[in-house]
Structure 1
Amino acid sequence: MSSWYESRIDRQIREAQERGEFDNLPGAGKPLPDRGTAYDEDWWIKAWIRRENLTGLAPTSLRIRKEAEDLVRTLTGKPSEQAVRESVAELNERIRRARQGLVDGPPVLLDTFDPDEVVEIWREQRARPGDPTSKNGAVGG
């Protein structure tokens, strides 16, 4: 059911459409980003941090989540098994503190990492230096 009344804004939009001002916009005809991926309740803050390049300004709990996400990728820079184990132990302690609510930011529900699994992935990476994400980054415990 159409209305005989057209607001000023509706008229401006209709006229812009008729002039073709909405044609060929970036992303037109492309699927929505992230369609088909699992819902992330923190999508908006992650997008904001990425868009504004706000590295280091996120709450502690979000920085811990990001470190956990990037753990497998950052293993390549570790010079020894002991360095890997120390890094995992430090991250696990920070995860424990975050899970107890002892840091600022949204809640953290991450599992701690099994140091032996992480060391095994590190060894695989060293055997195949061209593939920094062996095992698809699936580590946890």
Structure 2
Amino acid sequence: MVERPRYESPVERAIREAQERGEFDDLPGAGKPLRVENTDDPMWWVRQLVEREQLDFTGALPPAVALRKEAATFPESLADLRTEESVRAVLEDFNRRVRRDRLRPPESHLPPLLAPTVDVDELVEGWRALRAASQAADVDPPVTSGEARPRRRWWRRRR
């Protein structure tokens, strides 16, 4: 039988011509097998890209999921705040965003997902405990050597 000429699409032609010019020769990972852990996952390449490039897709999450992830970091994420008023302001803003998210119409193709509000007083207590623990760890240990040397001023050290 006579073999019919094969139709070459414009995309296939562009790839073939680029290969002939050598444009794919020195790419990183050339000749190495793809690492695929889960062959049943159709999004394996996206997960590897996110892991390799250390991308943050928090902004692409549905609002309720992003709020749940944010709530999971409390009270540790509040440790850098200096005053109780600022901690309360952050937590009240979080609760306000949760209430606003609950007023949005649900997406039709997904079951409704709600983020819980947080107990401000309970988390402020947790913040106080974290703050006290970090301040106790920051206290300098007492000098245990025989005698403490007096500190010399910087201009006297030059001699």
Per the normalisation by structure 1, the TM-score is 0.49
Per the normalisation by structure 2, the TM-score is 0.44
Structure whose CA Rg is larger: 2
